[in-house]
A and B are shown apart, each in its own frame.
Chain A
Amino acid sequence: MARQGLNKTLNYPRALDREILIESYGVTVRLEASDPDLFSETEQTARKALVGRVKILESAEPEHVFGVSSDETGTLFLFHNGEQISFDTSRKRFFKFFNSMLRIAVAEYARECVFIHAGVVGWKDKAIIIPANSFAGKTTLVSELVRNGATYYSDEYAVLDENGLVHPFPRDLSIRDEGFKEREAPVTEFGGITGTEPIPVGAVIITEFVEGGEWDPVSLTVGQGIMEVIPHTIPRNFNTQFSLKVLNTAVSDAIILKSPRGEASAFAIKLLSFY
């Protein structure tokens, strides 16, 4: 079945005749699906991916279109702006992938805020930001900080507004075991609470786990600190000027430290006692 969308003819296995238009962080997205069941799960996944910050729109020109379809074998297909970007027979894995792609699309094109791939906690009314890629131990460290009394803001994104304040993006923590299998854990599992208010940045910690690593930080200048954060800044190519301006505003009064670290449990205590 063919369908017009974004000036392209899209060929889906089954027609996408259910749709919803949403806006999140200033980004408009149309979600489409080929049956009510898929549509329902697509919408639920979108709300979860964007931590509930989703506004339904009546009409708007979407910047992104995600389409979910299936064929007679039950294989699921994901389309983004007219291109097939994934297919899967595992529904769980498929929607997990969609969750990630939607988050990245919104993070990359968000207006009025800058998404940094980072763990974030609140401590004494200020944010500690830990920029890092996946598998650098970010979530483990965040969970340990929360266990020791820090307020949970996110294990995925630091969302900075134009005044440099950090907003919560409190999705369930994505815990990985040694086999890299993921499960989602609410912050309450760590005895923690979620932040609700935007807070200024108190510290930026550039670190990664090293077996036997010792925390022996060097203090970075603002420029050096921003250089460390740039690779983790999601909209750096789409909205470069704004991203750099916000980073400067956010970190210019913060302590910026860099060092490898050892086990998260011990390091979390050390870090929180530092302030």
Chain B
Amino acid sequence: MNNSQCPVARKSGLVVQEVPDEVLVYDLETNKAHCLNQSAAMIWKSCDGNTSVSEIAKLVESQAGGKVTEDFVWLAIDQLSENNLLEKQIRPSFEGTSRREVIKKIGLASMIAIPVIASLVAPQSALAAASCACNNPSSCGNAPNAGCPNTTNCNINGLCAP
């Protein structure tokens, strides 16, 4: 376990929006959106490259007003790393133990919300969201065996378009 590691939050290619008690992060490179709950957000913001995991735990403890273990911080770091929100991927200190077991262990002791990051991939463009792939017009619209019920044209880009 290397609690002296100083993780660094990624900044480039991200759009960050603070909302009440959460932070939204949109990754422009992957079209992925992430919602960090308050605990995950606090830890991410503390990843400045100069603050170790142990120190982050103490910082979060003082801000959140409840006991925070290093496992708690590592749980967030693990998720941040997995979602490419750190400059460098970091292997969690609890490697070999399932995340569920770690959550169970933390959950029993923790008075503050477990760090959680929810993610989704957004479609690349509005047109892509409104259409589906085809190779001929019979894939579209009212044609028999249509695979794309919402459209009637198979355009030259291979998309049934509205």
Please report A residues at the B interface, Cβ cutoff 8 Å: 84-88, 93, 96-97, 100-101, 104, 107-108, 117, 133-135, 179-181, 221-224, 226-227, 230-234, 236-237, 240-241, 244-245, 247-248, 252
Structural contact, B161 and A100, CB atoms closer than 8 A = yes
- Any A CB within 8 A of the CB of B108: no
**Of the residues A97, A222, A248, A252, contact of B153 by C-beta under 8 Å:** A97
Bound complex: CA A180 to CA B123 (Å): 24
Indicate whether B33 reaches chain A with its CB closer than 8 angstroms.
Answer: yes
In the complex, the answer to whether A231 meets B130 with C-beta atoms within 8 Å is no
Pairs of residues from A and B, 6 with the lowest C-beta to C-beta distance, nearest first: A223-B22, A244-B17, A100-B162, A223-B35, A240-B15, A134-B150
A179 touches B142 (CB 8 A): yes
Q: How far is the CA of A96 from the CA of B149 in the complex (A)?
A: 15
Instruction: Tell me how many residues of B have a C-beta within 8 Å of chain A.
Output: 37
Q: Indicate whether B24 reaches chain A with its CB closer than 8 angstroms.
A: yes
Q: Which chain A residue has the least Cβ–Cβ distance from B159?
A: A85
Contact B17 A248 (CB under 8 A): yes
Q: Are B120 and A234 in contact (CB under 8 A)?
A: no
**Which residues of chain A are near B37, meaning CB under 8 Å?**
223
* Residues of chain B lying within 8 A (CB to CB) of residue A240: 15, 26, 28
Residues of B within 8 A of A (CB): 15, 17-24, 26, 28, 31, 33, 35-37, 118, 120, 122-127, 129-130, 141-142, 149-150, 152-153, 155-157, 161-162
Kindly state the separation between the CA atoms of A84 and B153 in the bound complex, as whole angstroms.
13
Bound: A230/B126 CA distance, A: 11
Which one of A101, A226, A234 contacts B161 once the chains associate, using CB atoms below 8 Å? Answer: A101
The smallest beta-carbon distance between A193 and chain B, in angstroms, is: 27
Q: Chain A contacts of B153 at CB under 8 A?
A: 86, 88, 93, 97
| Contact (Cβ within 8 A) B24 A244 | yes
Taking the nearest CB of chain A, how far is it from the CB of B148, in angstroms? 10
Find out whether the CB atom of A180 lies under 8 angstroms from the CB atom of B124. no
Cross-chain contact B20 with A84 (CB below 8 angstroms): no
| Cα–Cα, bound, A86→B127 (Å) | 14
Give which listed residue, A87, A97, A181, A236, contacts B162 with CB less than 8 A: A97
| Given A237-B125, A248-B17, A224-B150 contact (CB < 8 Å) | no
Q: How far is the CB of B28 from chain A (nearest CB, A)?
A: 6
Residues B31 and A237 in contact, CB atoms below 8 Å apart: yes
Give, as a whole number of angstroms, the nearest-CB distance from B57 to chain A: 24
Chain A residues closer than 8 Å to B36, beta-carbon distance:
223
